[in-house]
Amino acid sequence: MKITLNNCGKNYHRSWLFKDITLTIPIDSTPGSTLKLALLGPNGAGKSTFTLLLAGQTDPTEGVVQWHDASGKSIPQSQWHKYVALASPGMELPEEFTLSEWFDFHQQIKGFQSGITKELILTLCGFPKNTLTKQILTFSSGMKQRVKLCAAVLGNQPLVILDEPLTNLDSAGQLVFTTLLSEYLNNRSFIIASNRQDEWRDYCTQTYTIGDSEIKAI
């Protein structure tokens, strides 16, 4: 599979975040060949917008973004969600749900890897057992971030995108992040959008920078 961008640009409040981007992003599940990409840039450079563009949650101002399956056939944008999992600070969780209800809902809509249970998520996140019956609206920002990371990494989509994944996490939460990436990515491709080294340096083998209206490999 692959994502292609042809002469893509995104204008926001009369300013170009990036422009004239032509790029191919391969998505490979072959051991040793998976994409492990860090997208680096300061706050406001357009990292989050670019990840939303890849996931089909926003459209380019100009140019075209396309997903292609293994045979090269174009995948309709309405189907992209089947192939990508995204966790970002701006992503909302259904706060009226309990954690147990959220798990059931996510299992139905996106799906988890085989063997992922509510009890395992409690253990990974370091939550007490009674957290399953609590509404997500009662969770701290750090607890919500742990749930978002679990939703992305514990799924079975071939591409995982993590936007500033350590946002709102304390040292215990950072250990959750480390465990998830070390043990549960299972030869899936991933992109980490970041402005801090401890989010990507131990995991990524390729780096791109975003800024001054361009994206380039370094």
All domains in the chain, ordered by first residue:
2-217 (3.40.50.300)
Question: Within 13 Å of residue 140, how many CA atoms lie on the same side as its CB?
Answer: 10
Residues 37-85 have pLDDT tens digits of: 999 999 888 999 999 999 999 999 999 999 999 899 999 999 999 999 9
Report the distance separating Cα 97 and Cα 114, nearest Å: 23
**pLDDT, position 151:** 96
Residues 172-187 as b or e (16 or more Cβ within 10 Å = b): ebeebbeebbeebbee
What does pTM read for this prediction? 0.94
Please say if the pLDDT value at position 33 is more than 80: no
Residues 132-161 have pLDDT tens digits of: 999 999 999 999 999 999 999 999 999 999
**pLDDT, position 139:** 97
